[in-house]
């Protein structure tokens, strides 16, 4: 039986075009719907391997459809089609579980390439599901690994504090596992059967974030054509994870303080106060004490959040964890990539132990993942690890390079390249003035700062004399 693709778009021409592009070259069964609600009914009634959906449709947003599909069948691959080529929507879609996005207009090759990759992914997920489930159950700590005294202490404290209502603040440099700790706290809490809703405070502009968090009433602002529930409500009886809390705007800091103090909030444009029942876990890589001194962060909010604190040290300060983490990631990526790599050589481990890991556990994970992919034998060697510092990807990928890379890595590189190109142009236009550049691009200043840093760009280079 051929795999089935469901395509959803309000424009019938678009449906016909996609159907033709796919059916001409591939054997998949293609079904189409121009009404997202009917599409969802159809999805419920018959098995579908891949859903391709437009983002802007009357009646139902593509993101909403994506969420509904993922809720019903997390193993279904979803590809989002968008004419609004903003990285924000694309990132939102991928965060919500989309396999990939395609910007309109597109060429047939792009469609076929993505469809093939999505189908491969779908097949792999089917096969790996059982394996991963077994693994997760065994670990219990949502794959949070560690044997160092600091990590043992963290595990112990997670068990102690998870069942309480206490607000948690997780601090530590980037890539140290803050999000994993948040997840472990939720899973060990009495709320584990309910949702943990994650909000990234940096990625969303403040005015949008307010209505995302607290919801809005109909007519609260232009475009608010119907009432919308906020994430606070979505996290009802569960956990709200506020990531990058250090980037929260002063206005929202005040609103959050009220939520923490009184357990209540008002949707945007509403006069009615709502009560919230949730556990708040926040994380940041900022030094909030400095932010307080420099009047960027409210001190009273800090004390409210900081009821229980977890401080994650950089990886170089807990080298005992390196071997364990390396083996953990080795097993993970060997399974994911179906490679028979089962061991890591002593020299390779020593090389890892003497490395500083500015990117912490995330960097170790990337090194091992890449190593597993390129490892020709059964044991990871120093050569496989390729630990020479790789320059920030300022070069576009060639077709050949792309074909050899795993999807995620290729995508990461493409995004890096896009970031670096976009930011250079933007800074040039605005003479290196970050506030103006951020305004013009419609993103937050802090977010732009981070992108600049990640791309290894010096903003001062662009200062007009």
Ligand X SMILES: Nc1ncnc2c1ncn2[C@@H]1O[C@H](COP(=O)(O)OP(=O)(O)OP(=O)(O)O)[C@@H](O)[C@H]1O
HSE (side-chain half, CA atoms, 13 Å) at 101 = 28
Annotate 79-115 with b (16+ C-beta within 10 A) or e (fewer): bbbbeeeebebbebbbeeebbbbbeeeeeeeebeebb
Is the CB of 88 or the CB of 179 nearer to Mg ion?
Answer: 179
Question: Taking contact as CB under 6 A, which single stretch among the options 46-54, 172-180, 213-221, 436-444 is the one that binds ligand X?
Answer: 172-180
| Residue 361 within binding range of ligand X, rule CB under 6 A | yes
Interface with Mg ion (CB under 5 A), residue from 35, 61, 67, 179: 179
Q: Give me the least distance between CB of 350 and ligand X, in Å please.
A: 21
Exactly one of 62, 146, 215, 230 binds ligand X (CB under 6 A); that residue is: 146
**CB closer to Mg ion, 76 vs 176:** 176
362 binds ligand X (CB under 6 A): yes
Task: Work out how close the CB of 65 gets to Mg ion at its nearest, in angstroms, rounded to a whole number.
Answer: 27
Spatial CA neighbour of 163 closest among 140, 139, 192, 198: 192
379 interacts with, out of Mg ion, ligand X, none, CB within 5 to 8 A per kind: none
Contact predicate 254/210, CB 8 Å: no
Piece in contact with Mg ion (CB under 5 A), picked from 47-55, 174-182, 271-279, 292-300: 174-182
DSSP state, residue 462: G
Q: What are the Cα distances from residue 88, in Å, to 204, 309, 442, 444?
A: 8, 31, 10, 12
Cβ nearer to ligand X, comparing 259 with 281: 281
Q: Is 187 in the site for ligand X (CB under 6 A)?
A: no
What's the min distance (Å) between Cβ of 314 and ligand X?
10
Burial (CB count <10 Å: 0-12, 13-18, 19+), residue 117: middle
Q: Which stretch binds ligand X (CB under 6 A): 31-39, 294-302, 361-369, 381-389?
A: 361-369
Residue of 36, 62, 177, 371 that binds ligand X (CB under 6 A): 177
Is residue 195 left, alpha or beta, with left meaning phi > 0 and alpha meaning psi from -120 to 50? Answer: beta
Helix (H) or strand (E) holding 287: none
Query: Taking CB under 5 A as the rule, does residue 227 contact Mg ion?
Result: no
Site string for ligand X, 226-255 (x = CB under 6 A): ------------------------------
289, 171 Cβ separation under 8 angstroms: no
**Is 180 a binder of ligand X (CB under 6 A)?**
yes
The C-alpha atoms of residue 116 and residue 70 are separated, in whole angstroms, by 20
Q: What is the DSSP letter of 216?
A: B
- Please report which residue ranges of 8-78 form alpha helices under DSSP H: 12-25, 36-45, 62-72
Q: Which residues bind Mg ion (CB under 5 A)?
A: 179
Q: Which residues bind ligand X (CB under 6 A)?
A: 143-146, 172, 174-180, 285, 325, 328, 361-362, 365
């Amino acid at each position: 039986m051929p795999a089935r693709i469901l395509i959803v778009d309000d424009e019938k021409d678009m449906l016909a075009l996609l159907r033709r592009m796919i059916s001409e070259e591939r054997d998949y069964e293609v079904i189409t719907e121009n009404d997202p609600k009917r599409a969802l009914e159809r999805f419920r009634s018959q098995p579908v391997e891949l859903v391709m959906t437009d983002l802007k449709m009357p009646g139902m947003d593509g993101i909403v459809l994506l969420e509904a599909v993922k809720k019903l069948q997390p193993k279904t691959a979803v590809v989002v089609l968008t004419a609004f080529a903003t990285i924000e929507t694309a990132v939102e879609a991928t965060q919500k579980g989309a396999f990939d996005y395609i910007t309109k207009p597109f060429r047939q090759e792009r469609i076929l390439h993505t469809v093939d990759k999505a189908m491969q992914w779908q097949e792999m997920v089917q096969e790996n599901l059982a394996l991963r489930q077994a693994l997760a159950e065994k670990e219990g700590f949502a794959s949070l690994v560690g044997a160092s005294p600091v990590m043992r202490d963290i595990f112990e404290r997670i068990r102690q504090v998870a069942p309480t209502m206490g607000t948690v603040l997780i601090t530590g440099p980037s890539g140290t596992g803050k999000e994993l700790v948040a997840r472990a706290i939720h899973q060990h809490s009495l709320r584990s059967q309910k949702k943990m809703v994650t909000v990234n405070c940096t990625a969303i502009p403040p005015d949008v974030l307010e209505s995302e968090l607290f919801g809005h009433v109909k007519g609260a602002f232009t475009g608010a054509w119907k009432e919308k529930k906020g994430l606070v409500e979505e996290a009802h009886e569960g956990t709200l994870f506020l990531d990058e809390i250090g980037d929260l705007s002063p206005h929202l800091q005040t609103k959050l303080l009220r939520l923490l103090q009184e357990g209540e909030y008002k949707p945007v444009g509403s006069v009615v106060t709502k009560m919230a029942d949730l556990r708040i876990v926040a994380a940041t890589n900022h030094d909030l004490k400095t932010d307080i001194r420099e009047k960027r962060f409210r001190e009273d909010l800090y004390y409210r959040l900081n009821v229980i604190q977890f401080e994650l040290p950089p990886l170089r300060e807990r080298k005992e964890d390196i071997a364990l983490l390396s083996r953990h990631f080795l097993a993970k990526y060997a399974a994911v990539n179906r490679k028979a790599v089962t061991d890591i050589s002593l020299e390779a481990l020593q090389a890892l132990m003497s490395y500083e890991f500015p990117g912490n556990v995330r960097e170790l994970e990337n090194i091992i993942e890449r190593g597993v992919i390129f490892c020709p034998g059964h044991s990871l060697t120093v050569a496989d690890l390729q630990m020479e510092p790789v320059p920030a990807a300022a070069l576009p990928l060639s077709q050949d390079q792309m074909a050899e890379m795993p999807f995620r890595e290729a995508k990461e590189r493409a995004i890096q390249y896009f970031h670096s190109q976009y930011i250079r142009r933007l800074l040039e236009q605005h003479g290196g003035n970050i506030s103006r550049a951020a305004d013009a691009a419609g993103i937050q200043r802090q977010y732009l700062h981070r992108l600049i840093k990640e791309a290894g760009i010096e903003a001062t280079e662009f200062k007009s004399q």
